[in-house]
Structure 1
């Protein structure tokens, strides 16, 4: 007997320890500052996942003659990192997907008065392109045009490059642009400046600038075991709630007038067709209790449902409407399932009776 008592006491103590640990974790979590990170338009559109789109944007901003009015901001920033001439007066041509000697595609080729700059743009892909092919194409073309060749691999992560290419990361490129931005912003097109800032913000999300661990990250690292335990305990609790929905469905049994089914484990649904109108009764369970709603499945049924709910004796009940759904009853989790069953069946009868009353009136008329 003493052994049994000790076992029970141990379980109670263990439960209380877990409960206190969960509360401590929640209190620590609530004490953390709220951190919000805004997405750029490129993040929303999914554009950062397409190398071609990035190259198109670069082609636009690298050309100092385009309508962004930022001059040679991006070009001079890139050339400074490549330790090359950043002058861009007179001739300036940008070519996309330039065909190489072996049939490859060089992402960007820029021709100025004195330089021929080839840029291979790498966002997520590994650098597997034939740099020798790209290099020889740039060299041959630069000899023909009497221009100095510049070869750049612009990428998210640093790559080992050869064949005369210079590796430049987006992190360094964006830092260089930001350092020079103040000299150009005042004369720029505000529209294109905002787009550029959004583009750089999106790039920084991929380069790792925003990958530093903040307080929330540190919290989950420090408390990962207790958080996992808490989530597991919550999942068990939710499973217990969902089982009540199944139990209640079995207690209610089949109803001739409607179709009964369970939605997403947490909602017991009864679909009625009354005078040609689709009316649904939903009973949801959540950690805060049960909520019993009625609503129309089709827009045309909304007015008819409202009329039914204003028929006596339904009109005597206090019914709240929220988002086109009428809240008929709410129950605590401790409410006996038989009580809930009787409440539901009573509401079904009231609405069906109201429908029959309306049909009788229409028949008389």
Structure 2
């Protein structure tokens, strides 16, 4: 099929129509046959394999990104009804550097059970207590102390079959509950089948899904992966072409974002954009192009980070700008957050941003002109706030 005759909309609709119906009840999988379906250690091992982006599977950070998305959404919901509950800002956790299973706690006065899965980044660490068949009877406070001993920002997750009560620790922080069902459903939503993913990778993932599925008699949302594999094989060239165009489109939008920020004197710094002259400890964050395109929206926030975030009165800063920009169109000041890593000055959102009659980059530059370029722009007001309080920062 040549590119000039390739109709993405038509092919996507045809292929989607061919995908099999959702199963009512899963058949036996390898975990069942080997009689290890209830062994939490075995489940943790394969889960850790998928969490590790450096393993041989072709899914990259799929599992971790899905877990992080779920955690962010759940914390936001919990905060509305339980504002006193504390969670560290998992949204600031970047790529995984190390994944361990059955990690022994350090410095404990009593012999304790090991932590099932530990994910570590450069300056953060996540403990995952993986529950398949047992009630929770684990010393979470000892686990938490172990995480804090690493001198990194800690986060705790209870991964359970069914929703569990919030587990509050001695210092007010909590282990967040995420169910296995929620995790595999989010993975399914986010999965991108590319040429780099082999049939073996899909087989492993299918067997893991089916093992979790076997614990939910009423679960109807998981497709039979073997049938999906066959449909992928039957339509491989068409799917590859769709994926190729999708990836190239995302790269194009990413380059336009970089170009637009550059015109306003901002350069990429990890996941963020900051002034090229580094005069202020202020950053823009904008989600990846794939997320912007998926949601057909623009979302970005402007925030203080690092040294300035530690030195300034964060509550006063947040409330000042919450009120300052509350009435401006497309500003979402009720969603501002603050943590040890960052404090929002403003959040800007615009839906239906990708419109046929207007190019993305021109619309995006108009937004940056509004936020940065104008004489009394929100960014200049934040900079003046820091200037008045003598909060300058350069490397």
Which range, TM-score by smaller chain?
A: 0.3 to 0.5
Which one has the largest radius of gyration? 1
Q: Name the structure where strand makes up a greater proportion of residues.
A: 1
Structure ranking higher on relative contact order (CA contacts 8 Å, 6+ apart): 2
The structure with the largest helix share of the pair is: 1
